[in-house]
Chain A
């Protein structure tokens, strides 16, 4: 029972570097989302997907790209990291129909950009 798996758990990047945060789920969930958690803020939606090949922007999409080539995987790409992207990132998934039973969250990736 792996659920939602995020890798890596911790990462330090230099400004301008790129990287991909990985998210995989083994529950055959159609819907997947990426959130960031910053001090004093609620979880904020970056991008989401309602199925393979379908993605859309959330509240704070700038600086991030996503793709959904399979049901299981939903990677988040930082193209040119900036200190403002220092945050804890959570991936979440759930099954339709909406709204269902709520989202299952991964354990998070703590990213620091220096």
Chain B
């Protein structure tokens, strides 16, 4: 069974803080790594899909990096805002459409 680990499990930051969290995944049979943002009472929303080792993607204040050789990805949020409060999910894709999700990092940004 594939293991996708996310840390920390939860995180509380103040408005304006920058923060980051980690997704660890198997380094073998890698095809893609997905990041999703999931706000309470809504559905998961795709942020990034990353495929290449060393890849870095950015959307506004959110960015992500990928290291496929060691099996990890970082998600960074610069200058956190209360509206960034959500659970951030990563999912490992190993060559088919079978995605394996981590349990998520729950971010709370206090005003």
Mark out the residues of chain B between 1 and 41 whose CB falls within 8 Å of any chain A CB in the assembled complex: 1, 4, 31-32, 34, 36
Which of A16-24, A74-82, A105-113 makes up part of the contact surface? A105-113
Q: Given the interface contacts A42-B4, A106-B43, does A101 sit within 8 Å of B97 by beta carbon?
A: no
What total of chain A residues lie within 8 Å of the partner, measured CB to CB?
Answer: 27
Q: How far is the CB of A59 from chain B (nearest CB, A)?
A: 7
Q: Which of A43, A102, A107 contacts B49 (CB 8 A)?
A: A102
A99 lies within 8 A of B98 (CB):
no
B101 lies within 8 A of A42 (CB):
yes
Q: Given the interface contacts A99-B32, A103-B46, A104-B46, does A43 sit within 8 Å of B98 by beta carbon?
A: no
What total of chain B residues lie within 8 Å of the partner, measured CB to CB?
Answer: 27
A104–B101 Cα distance when bound, in Å, is 15
Name the prevailing secondary structure of the A interface residues. Answer: loop
A42 lies within 8 A of B98 (CB):
no
A33 on the B face (CB < 8 A): yes
A43–B94 Cα distance when bound, in Å, is 16
A98 lies within 8 A of B43 (CB):
no
A43 lies within 8 A of B46 (CB):
no
Q: List 7 A-B contacts (CB under 8 A).
A: A42-B4, A42-B89, A43-B44, A43-B99, A100-B49, A102-B47, A102-B48
Interface of B with A (CB < 8 Å)? Answer: 1, 4, 31-32, 34, 36, 42-49, 51, 89, 91, 93, 96-104
9 more A-B residue pairs beyond the given contacts A45-B100, A90-B43, A107-B42, with a C-beta to C-beta distance below 8 A: A42-B101, A43-B89, A45-B99, A48-B98, A59-B100, A98-B31, A99-B93, A100-B49, A105-B43
